[in-house]
Structure 1
Amino acid sequence: MSSQAAQIIAALRRGHDELVSRLAALGPDDIVRTSGSADWTVAQTVSHLGSGAVISKASLDAALAGDANPGMDFNKEVWARWDGMTPDEQVAAFPAVNEELVGAFEALDDRALVELRIDLGFMPQPLDVAGVAGMRLTEFALHAWDVNVAFDPTATVARDAAVLLVDTIGPLLRFAGKADQVDGAVTVAVRATMPDRDLGLVIDDVVELTDLPAAAEAKIVAPTEYLVRLFSGRHAAEHTPESVKVTGSLTLDDLRRVFPGY
């Protein structure tokens, strides 16, 4: 089996190819539609991914060269440049810069996949390739869904990405989850489907994913990709599959309040 880093990079490649194909079919009116991220149009969502690709590539290049992270001033310049583009320019510029980032990840040898450490400039310590690529996959897969759902209300997060993102998103729930939205501590048995996997969700002082608990006050059964969307706030009723079931002391609306999005 390939390493986690290699699996994440492969998911980034597939996601890139699919999103670029989608964007190529859009017209001027399409790209100014509201995306699944309600505050952004499709073009603005793509712009966010484009500027992120440039910044991530610069961090990777610096690590490979043994240099310091380019820093916040560099990031601000990149954001300002992309914010200043027209919607057509944002969408047109995205494929090349994201290709450069994905290609750079793909060019890493087996040793680098294990040993390279990348300073992102905002984390307490440098991360390995799996950590950095995983953060990018989280951002990319969710915002690709934001683009796709603007045209298809039944859009889903890519399955290969969703399988990886359950673990990547887990640590974020301590910060993004709102435990105060339910009364008292609640333990939830989580049954992910497509593919099948059992997890636990504890809502207490903080929110965290755990191993399947021996006992739980509530249970949720849902496709893996929907769990990724639920945890990231992409869970509106019109985008929720009928197969999602919540039983016990919590409702799906309770869980939606716990996970307002980020």
Structure 2
Amino acid sequence: MSSRADLAIAALRKGHDDLTALVRGLTPEQLTGPSAASEWDVSQVVSHLGSGAEINLEVVRASLEGRPAPQFEFNKGVWARWDGMTPQERQEAFPVANERLVEAYEALDAARRASHRIDVGFLPEPVDVATSALLRLTEFGFHDWDIRVAFDPSAVLAPEAAELMADRAGSMFGWVAKPDRLEGRTAHLLLTLTDRDERLGLRIADTVELTDLPATADGELSLPLEAWLRLTVGRLAPKYTPGSVKVTGDLSLDDLRKVFPGF
């Protein structure tokens, strides 16, 4: 049976292969066209994923060699180098950088995947391989969509990635959710993930959190998993919203977009 680490690494491989094929075929005009990430063109999203691959690779290598996680100055240097590249240079460099990271995860045998710990540098303690790979998959999955939807308005999150990313949605609320934008309005909604036959509670008050089913719901948000994930990171604009998304109660979908403005 595949472990959680196996599944995350396999999803990273598929995501890499699929996105690399797309990026390599982009024209200069497409590279400098708008992406779905606010304020970034397509090449800048490619740059973000490429620099992230380099930083993540150094994190993995440091853990294997018994070194501390790279310091912020290392990250700044990597970002500056990618920021200085032309769009075409980013197009050429991304497949190489991301391939190296995916290969590093793939090279971990079953024992390491089960027992090894990685200091990612921004969490209180080292994490297991599955969590490390899933952190990268979450970043990769959303920005992969940012690129692909620029050329296909019906694009959705990669299904194999979305299934694994689902477990991280609630843990991201602390920095992506802005409940204060409702100016004191609160709600405890029934959250129905229609393609998973799953029902949860979504409480929006001073903070935002997933809960058990509310005894009395103030409304219902009903939508597929991948649309829910995109909503939480500000990627469910009207033109990217499936017709199956439904909201009832005092809060509207636009209100929820305010709570989750994205990055």
Q: TM-score, normalised by structure 2?
A: 0.95
Aligned-pair RMSD on alpha carbons?
A: 1.3
- Distance in 2 of aligned mates of 1:16 and 1:199: 32
The answer to whether the Cα contact below 8 Å between 1:186 and 1:202 also exists between their aligned partners in 2 is yes
Pairing 1:203–2:200 present: no
* Larger mean Cα displacement after TM superposition, 121-130 or 152-161: 121-130
How far apart are residue 97 of structure 1 and its match? 0.9
Instruction: Give the alignment of 1:211-250 within 5 angstroms.
Output: 211-250=212-251
Whichever residue aligns with residue 152 of structure 2, its letter is D
Residue aligning to 1:82: 82
Secondary structure, aligned partner of 1:29: helix
* Larger mean Cα displacement after TM superposition, 235-244 or 103-112: 103-112
- Distance in 2 of aligned mates of 1:224 and 1:189: 14
* Larger mean Cα displacement after TM superposition, 177-186 or 145-154: 177-186
Q: Taking structure 1 as reference, are residues 215 and 113 closer, same or farther at Cα in structure 2, changes over 3 Å only? A: farther
Secondary structure, aligned partner of 2:28: coil
Whichever residue aligns with residue 36 of structure 1, its letter is A
Whichever residue aligns with residue 138 of structure 2, its letter is T
The answer to whether the Cα contact below 8 Å between 1:8 and 1:137 also exists between their aligned partners in 2 is yes
Residue aligning to 1:139: 139
Secondary structure, aligned partner of 2:67: coil
The answer to whether the Cα contact below 8 Å between 1:47 and 1:90 also exists between their aligned partners in 2 is yes
How far apart are residue 28 of structure 1 and its match? 0.8
Instruction: Give the alignment of 1:64-79 within 5 angstroms.
Output: 64-79=64-79
The answer to whether the Cα contact below 8 Å between 1:138 and 1:169 also exists between their aligned partners in 2 is no
* Larger mean Cα displacement after TM superposition, 53-62 or 69-78: 69-78
- Distance in 2 of aligned mates of 1:202 and 1:234: 20
- Structure 2: stretches of 5+ with no match in the other structure: none
Whichever residue aligns with residue 193 of structure 2, its letter is A
How far apart are residue 154 of structure 1 and its match? 1.5
* Larger mean Cα displacement after TM superposition, 49-58 or 210-219: 210-219
- Give the fraction of aligned pairs with identical amino acids, expressed as a percent: 50
Deviations 1:14-35 (A, max 9, x none): 1111101111221111100010
- Distance in 1 of aligned mates of 2:18 and 2:119: 29
- Distance in 2 of aligned mates of 1:215 and 1:3: 38
